[in-house]
Amino acid sequence: MKLLIGNRNYSTWSLRPWLVLKHFGISFEDEVLQLSGDGWRDVLAQRSPTGKVPVLLDGDLVVPETIAIIEYLADRFPDKAIWPTDIGQRALARAAAAEMHAGFTSLRSHAPMNLRASHPGKVSVDSVAKDLHRLETLWGDLLTRSGGPFLFGDFTAADAMFAPVATRIRTYALPVSDLAAGYVEAIYALPAFQDWLAQALHEPWIVDDDEIDVIQGRVKPGTLA
Ligand SMILES: N[C@@H](CCC(=O)N[C@@H](CS)C(=O)NCC(=O)O)C(=O)O
């Protein structure tokens, strides 16, 4: 089984199924397809039916789309509690994952994931306030109900879906409650996340479209080292 992923530093969608594979001890390889540089879109178009990553390859099967990959893994490895085992909790976990996939658009556009960076104060809190408010409610309800450290107690696919949000909170020092800050810490403490992070920190590539100084016009594209 192989997962095609984008740059670890920036690729939020790649991080999610990778964390599921790694955390649940599923044997797999990964291959990075860069999200910048000459011809990168052509390479993606050749390797991915959607022209996007992640893509899971399992024998002849080629599965794009993060949620579909996670659901496939849950079907393929039913003994691993990738989703909560309780049917009601599982429904809530899938609802949270679906909300993440379809929503939180302000956070996603104004605060791109950039694991090696630290940019406190560079994202206007007003621009992401509505999303932060919704996060506090959602995470707060689930963490209070489960007792933590993850949304449904143990780590599940729902946490994998929110891991990139945790990194945005840290990178841009977005203001959150102690409960939410504790959840961010729990994501960072996860060995699978630490593994991804360590590899991300060694990547040399810059993707200007995901660099806040370029997006906000402080730095010219192509000049970041
Ligand atoms: N709906 C897709 C989104 C995947 C996606 O947008 N991936 C980004 C990298 S994080 C990508 O491949 N971007 C390349 C492009 O948009 O051309 C999923 O859930 O997997």
DSSP label at residue 37: S
Single-letter amino acid, residue 86 = D
Quote the ligand 1 centre to 146 CA distance (angstroms): 31
87-196 has which fold? Answer: Glutathione S-transferase Yfyf (Class Pi); Chain A, domain 2 (1.20.1050)
Read off the pTM. Answer: 0.97
Q: Which spans in the chain are helix H?
A: 12-23, 40-47, 66-76, 87-102, 105-110, 125-146, 157-171, 178-189, 191-201, 212-215
2-80 has which fold? Answer: Glutaredoxin (3.40.30)
Quote the ligand 1 centre to 109 CA distance (angstroms): 13
Tell me the domain boundaries of the chain.
2-80, 87-196
Q: What confidence score (pLDDT) does residue 195 get? A: 98
Q: What confidence score (pLDDT) does residue 44 get? A: 98
Q: What confidence score (pLDDT) does residue 225 get? A: 79
Long-range contact pairs involving 181-185 (C-beta distance under 8 Å, separation at least 24)? 182/143, 182/148, 182/149, 183/139, 183/143, 183/148, 183/149, 183/150, 183/151
For the chain, how far is it from start to end, CA to CA, in angstroms?
35
Regarding the beta carbon of 65 and ligand 1, being less than 6 Å apart is answered: yes
Q: Which spans in 59-124 are helix H?
A: 66-76, 87-102, 105-110
Return the closest-CA partner of residue 111 out of 99, 96, 101, 121: 121
Query: Which residue among 53, 56, 165, 168 is best mutated to probe the pocket of ligand 1, counting the most ligand atoms within 8 A of its Cβ?
Result: 53
The residue whose CA is least distant from atom 2 of ligand 1 is 65
Q: What pLDDT digit, counting tens, does each position of 130-151 carry?
A: 999 999 999 999 999 999 999 9
Which residues, in sequence order, are bridge partners of residue 2? Answer: 29, 57
Token pair of 136 as six digits: 């506090």
Q: Evaluate the omega torsion of the peptide bond into residue 54 and state whether it is cis, within 30 degrees of 0.
A: yes
Instruction: State how far the Cα of 85 lies from the Cα of 64, in Å rounded to an integer.
Output: 25
The contacts of residue 123 (CB under 8 Å, 6+ apart) are 110, 111, 172, 174, 212
Q: Evaluate the omega torsion of the peptide bond into residue 120 and state whether it is cis, within 30 degrees of 0.
A: no
Q: What pLDDT digit, counting tens, does each position of 168-202 carry?
A: 999 999 999 999 999 999 999 999 999 999 999 99
Q: What angle do CA 37, 43, 48 make, to 5 degrees?
A: 130
Helix (H, G, I), strand (E, B) or coil at 12: helix
Regarding the beta carbon of 52 and ligand 1, being less than 6 Å apart is answered: yes
Please give the chain's pLDDT, 225 residues, in tens: 999 999 999 999 999 999 999 999 999 999 999 999 999 999 999 999 999 999 999 999 999 999 999 999 999 999 999 999 999 999 999 999 999 999 999 999 999 999 999 999 999 999 999 999 999 999 999 999 999 999 999 999 999 999 999 999 999 999 999 999 999 999 999 999 999 999 999 999 999 999 999 999 999 999 997
